[in-house]
Structure 1
């Protein structure tokens, strides 16, 4: 017969533990809190040992984080994190993290790309930037086309300091660059003494982006010449 801490260490869901142990509402929460002081390392190591006894895994002692092939207990306790430079993308399944790393490495061969293994408790409670969500599928990826132009207050086009049109493979976790729309555009007046108006377009359809870029530039010129029409401040 399982004891309370064994069930909790094995990662059995709260509802199942309550049913097995016959805990009443309120008492179950108190009992769970009693064992939550255990460190994530103790949880994972203990689970691996208990799992080996119960299911006969071939994992050698001290071999590191358990792998998916070693049964349900290690799998539940491990998060596979695709580390892409300074960004980390947590995945429930190792094959998803491997795919992200492989594609990222093809797109950006000069950048860091590797899979890290975190224990689940550690990721959910101590993960960087409070990122506790774990993906159960491969993130969305698309080639996104961009266009950008800059206009002076009188409407004259000026240099942007970079390319006006470009494209790049982008993932849905790169929210500043990713979109699944054919095209979308906006104009905005830059803060500061120059008060230039910027036109920005991005989308997954190159032709649609080019058409939208013409519209965006037309509005940017009008906005540069008539700031009051768009609610821009004139107190420069």
Structure 2
């Protein structure tokens, strides 16, 4: 539950302003820097034979983008789904498995949110690709045994401690100037077989989404230049 609390703020639009709390029976779990405020989203749940609980998200403060609608419908849906899934767990073992699976899903969402912000904030594509490489390992199932690289325009950007291995996941992308690139994830150890080798389906989908974000960001830049010319 503690790990879940840590990840929950990361799937919101403004993770730096968000905190989370999960109540489960007599236990209370909170994310770092927790502060209860009036700007909250809460879903209650009750598990068979295990007691009641709730999932709560708070914004510590509001900005001009969150003032009218602090929590987006997709964020409300995500928390509601998590509460419903916890409520449906019939045993402690099932609950632990569920939380593990949902944690991986939230890692994926966090990676997408971080990539979106990087693409918005970076001065150029090369800077963005290096920063994306640096955050990709944390979005994977085994972050301490993961490295990443992005090859684009005859340059290769790599995460710290990079080296290749036989356990690889690859996703290609193409920008409007027809220059192509490839995102690669390597596990540095041999892990159990999952969806594609040792990689989860969610990890494959993450790379597909990040490739789409990179391509989409480049397309937006082209339109901006056309509008200014």
* TM-score relative to the length of structure 2: 0.24
More helix by share: 2
Say which one has the larger Rg: 1
* TM-score relative to the length of structure 1: 0.23
